[in-house]
């Protein structure tokens, strides 16, 4: 049986043919994403920056596909604060959720079993 859903991470690799999110993609936020952005702002004590378009210089961290088509990307954005902003974005520009990561967090505890290897696609 062929696995239809696949999940890739930057530390493991992306397929060469993976569709990338486009700089300038118009973003719109789900109710959940707005609540999470406000929660993160309160937690850190500052106004959380959330973009209206996907800015230049984002880092693609994760991608999920279904039958070879993108269902979501996780991108990480640098900010002026000590925290980066992570967004989960659908191809239509809807931001599903938002969270912050300490700029120095390198995720050394990544569970590789949760992700597919690109050559296994």
> Averaged over 32-57, what is the pLDDT?
89
Q: What is the pLDDT of residue 7?
A: 97
* Top-confidence residue, 76 or 47: 76
Decide: 14 and 70 in contact? Cβ < 8 Å. no
pLDDT above 80 for 92: yes
d(C-alpha 101, C-alpha 86), whole Å: 7
pLDDT for position 49: 79
Torsion angle in degrees (nearest 10) through CA of 71, 113, 54, 49: 120
Strands 59-66 and 83-89: unpaired
Please determine, for residue 29, whether its predicted confidence score (pLDDT) is greater than 90.
Answer: yes
Residue percentage of the chain with pLDDT more than 70: 95
How far apart CA 23 and CA 101 sit, in angstroms, is 21
Please state, rounded to an integer, the average pLDDT across all residues of the chain: 90
């Amino acid at each position: 049986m062929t696995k239809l859903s696949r999940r890739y991470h930057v530390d493991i690799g992306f397929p060469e043919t993976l569709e990338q999110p486009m700089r300038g993609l118009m973003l719109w936020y789900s109710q959940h994403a707005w609540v999470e952005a406000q929660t993160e702002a309160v937690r850190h004590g500052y106004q959380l920056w959330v973009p209206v378009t996907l800015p230049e210089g984002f880092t693609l961290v994760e991608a999920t596909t279904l039958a070879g088509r993108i269902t979501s990307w996780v991108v990480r954005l640098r900010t002026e604060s000590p925290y980066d902003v992570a967004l989960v974005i659908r191809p239509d520009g809807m931001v599903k959720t938002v969270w912050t990561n300490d700029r120095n967090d390198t995720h050394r505890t990544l569970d590789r079993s949760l992700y597919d290897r690109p050559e296994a696609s």
